[in-house]
Homo-oligomer: A and B are copies of this chain.
């Protein structure tokens, strides 16, 4: 069985500038190769992802890194700009994200898992979930007209696979190089390998793709769980 994304528009709603690279860029790359349109919405600016050597103007640096990575993929980048650790579900943030959904018009949204280890990831996930419903409700007025229908929504794996039970594995064996190239562009983060709050990212990402691949009998995979909610479940 092979999923085909040719007629899809995928929007990854991630908390930090490098989260898409870690958790779903292989799937985005595969969908792109099928002919899908790709968007990445980054909720937080990454301003507090500082290493032992502080960096001036970190949010701006990270936005540039994210833009470069998005370009590798051919993805549209949306930047929400919340402060790290300060992202919460609110009507104001919902409306910002609803407007992005209405402009990009995704058929499939990829969000963090609601039970993810990072508070920002969980808040981003709640906002993506809310926007996936409200984007098609015309009563919530933003600049763009309401979507025709809510998109399907998948929750992405957690870092190190902690506490996540996958339901769908996407074979990304042929797309690992793109994912690696994208991650390599986040230089401000890769330089933090000696930091206590930071794992060696590239290695961690490769090992996780290999582990998920081994579970499903392919060289590399990314794992997801569809959101089993009214109109957000896709039928494949």
Contacts and interface: CB of A to CB of B under 8 A. Distances in A.
Interface of A: 1-8, 47-50, 52, 83-86, 88-91, 94, 107-108, 116-119, 129-130, 133-134, 136-140, 146-150, 152, 158-163, 165-171, 195-197, 199, 204, 207, 210-211, 213-218, 221, 225-226, 228-236
Contacts of A234: 1, 169, 216-217
A233 B211 contact: no
For chain A, what secondary structure do more than half of its interface residues adopt (helix, strand, loop), or is it mixed? loop
A89 B234 CA distance: 30
A235 B165 CA distance: 15
Contacts of A118: 133, 230
Contacts of A163: 165, 228-229
B236 A85 contact: no
A134 B119 CA distance: 9
B1 A2 contact: no
A191 to B, nearest CB: 14
A105 to B, nearest CB: 12
A130 B167 CA distance: 21
27 contacts: A1-B5, A1-B108, A1-B234, A2-B236, A48-B140, A49-B139, A52-B138, A85-B91, A85-B137, A88-B91, A89-B119, A117-B229, A138-B195, A148-B196, A149-B196, A158-B230, A159-B230, A160-B230, A162-B230, A167-B226, A169-B233, A171-B236, A204-B214, A211-B211, A216-B233, A216-B235, A218-B235
